[in-house]
A and B are shown apart, each in its own frame.
Chain A
Amino acid sequence: MLKIRNLHAKIDDKEILRGINLDIKPGEVHAIMGPNGSGKSTLSAVLAGNEAFEVTEGEVTFNGKNLLDMAPEDRSREGLFLSFQYPVEIPGVSMVNFMRTALNEHRKYRGEAPMSASDFLKLMRDKKNLVEIDSNLTNRAVNEGFSGGEKKKNEIFQMAMLQPKLAILDETDSGLDIDALRIVANGVTKLKSPENATIVITHYQRLLDYIVPDHVHVLYKGRIVKSAGKELALELEEKGYDWIKKEFED
């Protein structure tokens, strides 16, 4: 589904991704861990098409298409979803209006007619229940004045609405209280299917207790320096990153 080959990216002449390789198949869950500033969010931003970063080398194919050639909105419409580490506030634009526009753009891209208002509202209700998001939040402007945890829940709600093929969850667990973590993680699990895949970026094992990864990767200084099964996350939790850093420097 997603093939990353030797991906390099920079910002202001500072190289941040320095040769990433990664293969993700339908149905898989990949966890990406790594110390602060190692390039995890940068990788998700580059995959989502943030033009602030310049790709200097490498290839990415998504369902057989050249991802790097696509406009960010087309990547979304092709089924790539990013749950932002820091969701953005858009004052004055209601969640309902925002989601309806987004959903209809996706439908248009697939050659489908816009969804009727009543079908849309029903869909919203169903998905709100799934992530147990407060009804008031969807009546407000996009993320405006939302608490940190509410913003994260709102990301998962949007993911549920758009039903992506590949979801990248960038530290979706940070800022969530214990109950919210369980709700959000269960929501993500419910959305899983053999056809779609998930990249979970996190610092903690607790999220991976709910969303069990098939593969765990460690990103360090812009490269994936270690990949293994779910036991790697437990090992990292126990030992930290020093041993990997050391292994890498050697």
Chain B
Amino acid sequence: MATDQNTILDEVTGGEYKYGFVTDIETEYIPKGLNEDVVRLISQKKGEPDFMLEFRLEAFRHWQTLTLPEWAHLNIPNIDLQEIIFYAAPRTKPKYNSIDEVDPELIDTFNKLGIPLNEQLALAGVAVDAVMDSVSVKTTFKETLADKGIIFCSISEAIREYPDLIKKYLGSVVPYQDNYYAALNSAVFSDGSFVYIPKGVRCPLELSTYFRINASNTGQFERTLIVADDDSYVSYLEGCTAPMRDENQLHAAVVEIMVMERAEVKYSTVQNWYPGDKDGKGGIFNFVTKRAICKGDYAKVSWTQVETGSAITWKYPSCVLMGNHSVGEFYSVAVTNNHQQADTGSKMIHLGKNTRSLIVSKGVSAGKSNNSYRGLVKVSKKADNARNFSQCDSLLLGNQCGAHTFPYLEINNSSAKVEHEATTSKIGEDQIFYCNQRGLSTEDAVALIVNGYVKEVINQLPMEFAVEAQKLLQISLEGSVG
């Protein structure tokens, strides 16, 4: 019976990555490898002011003193950084006034991804800052946003146009000393997004960025900085897919969010990078540092992520709850299939009084994959009446996959109330047969059960994104039934 179930699940979950293709836009590289000259060259190519070069060099020098970290539940092949190209930009640096001027290849790429840019702009009211490789190609809806004093642009542009904001906030949430990959990112980051919401402004649009790794052999080091000033609100969406590739590609992004008094930031991610083929060959390595600081009282931040891609994912969006009454939330769905490995979770650092945090983590493992939740809840001495609730569920498809939960607690204040619940369940052959008997194919049955299981998290996503996320879950678990 067990083998029967495995065959069924194999068929359902053995699907190949559907977004594998390479876009043919000309790309300009600098030589592969990393040294101080490369850092200088990147800064120069981007026409950065001196302070930025200094920032990069400091980070680079610090990075040189570090060694690659060892990972508990991940099996990571050696990554030879000297084989990586650290900068790639479309050769013709475009600046478009209208969408008609955008390279049709790019439009085509978005279409293949199911993200028709035109339609998005018209229908969804989503402003898209499309990052293709390392340089922002298209930023839209800027005027609407500018009317409200909202800044939404590429980080390169922000460095040139808003040096004071950059000087003040870049590295203030994730300093380069934070970890190996944060240091590396700070030295060589190529591009990313910058958002500033002024005091008292509710951003009227969902801000959205579609990242896409495109140039072969290019390490990607995105840098995102979001600052929400007092009493402001913004919802930010990040999504990505990657073309099918044979070589492993490294991605080490840094996302920093600063939330001031009574401000609220929602950060949603749908991540679907190439996970490698069915035998575990190829795929993206995804080492991301994401952190938010709720600096002011009553500040609130929530991370929602749907992770289906990457060969290896290492990612712990964190909330530092500094302000009194500040709130941090983390909703996550992580799906692993075939040979994927994921080690994700969240860190909630309670520093202020009456701070609250919530963690809802849903892991889905299929194939021979490994899915770990690693979470830290830390309550400092002064954080009176801190509250945390963590719910970590694992769903297993088949019996060759693994799910692990590692909750860490550091409680230094006796008034803290911390609760943790964990469940592990399995899609049973009897459940699938029951669905079959009512006329559902095995594929649909699995999709229905998985969608039910992750509903609580998907519901946190903005409507358009939720639909896309659901499609993605289905795609990443479906296969060649029949």
Contacts and interface: CB of A to CB of B under 8 A. Distances in A.
Contacts of A84: 434, 437
Nearest to A102: B438
Interface string A143-178: 000000000000000100010000000000000000
A106 interface: yes
Contact of A90 (B431, B437, B444): B431
CB-based closest 7 A-B pairs = A92-B452, A72-B436, A93-B452, A88-B434, A76-B439, A102-B438, A105-B439
Interface in B139-189: none
Greatest chain A CB density within 10 A among B1, B434, B441 is at: B434
Interface string B440-452: 1110100011011
A94 interface: yes
Nearest to B430: A88
Greatest chain A CB density within 10 A among B435, B437, B449 is at: B437
Contact of B444 (A50, A71, A88, A105): A105
Interface in B440-480: 440-442, 444, 448-449, 451-453, 455
A87 B433 CA distance: 11
B452 A88 contact: no
Contact of A109 (B435, B439, B448, B453): B439
Contacts of B48: none
A82 B449 contact: no
Interface string A77-91: 100011010011111
A52 B440 contact: no
A73 B441 contact: yes
A154 to B, nearest CB: 12
A158 B438 contact: yes
A98 B445 CA distance: 9
Greatest chain B CB density within 10 A among A90, A105, A106 is at: A90
A97 B451 CA distance: 11
B158 to A, nearest CB: 42
A88 B4 contact: no
Contacts, number: 84
Contacts of A48: 433, 437
A51 interface: yes
A106 B438 CA distance: 9
Interface of A: 48-52, 71-73, 75-77, 81-82, 84, 87-94, 97-99, 101-103, 105-106, 109, 141, 158, 162
A73 B440 contact: yes
Interface in B256-300: none
B436 A76 contact: yes
A76 B449 CA distance: 19
A106 B440 CA distance: 9
Given A90-B452, A91-B425, A101-B448, A73 B439 contact: yes
A88 B427 CA distance: 11
Contacts of A99: 438
Contact of A77 (B433, B439, B442): B439
Contact of B439 (A93, A97, A102, A141): A102
B429 interface: yes
The secondary-structure label for the interface of chain B is helix
Given A76-B439, A105-B439, A106-B439, A90 B429 contact: no
B482 interface: yes
Given A98-B448, A105-B444, A72 B437 contact: yes
A48 B436 CA distance: 9
A49 B429 CA distance: 13
Greatest chain A CB density within 10 A among B428, B449, B451 is at: B449
A106 B453 CA distance: 24
Contacts of B444: 101, 105
Contacts of B436: 49, 71-73, 76
Contacts of A51: 4, 8, 433
Nearest to B444: A101
Given A52-B429, A87-B434, A88-B431, A102 B482 contact: no
A48 B433 CA distance: 9
A204 B448 CA distance: 37
A141 B451 CA distance: 13
29 contacts: A51-B8, A52-B433, A71-B441, A72-B436, A72-B437, A73-B436, A73-B439, A73-B442, A75-B437, A76-B438, A76-B439, A87-B434, A88-B431, A89-B431, A90-B431, A90-B434, A90-B435, A90-B452, A91-B452, A91-B453, A92-B453, A94-B452, A98-B435, A98-B438, A99-B438, A101-B444, A102-B435, A106-B439, A158-B438
A99 B449 CA distance: 13
A105 B482 contact: no
Given A73-B440, A102-B439, A92 B455 contact: yes
Contacts of B425: 91
B450 to A, nearest CB: 9
A77 B448 CA distance: 18
B4 to A, nearest CB: 6
A186 to B, nearest CB: 23
A218 B444 CA distance: 38
A93 B448 contact: yes
Greatest chain B CB density within 10 A among A50, A88, A99 is at: A88
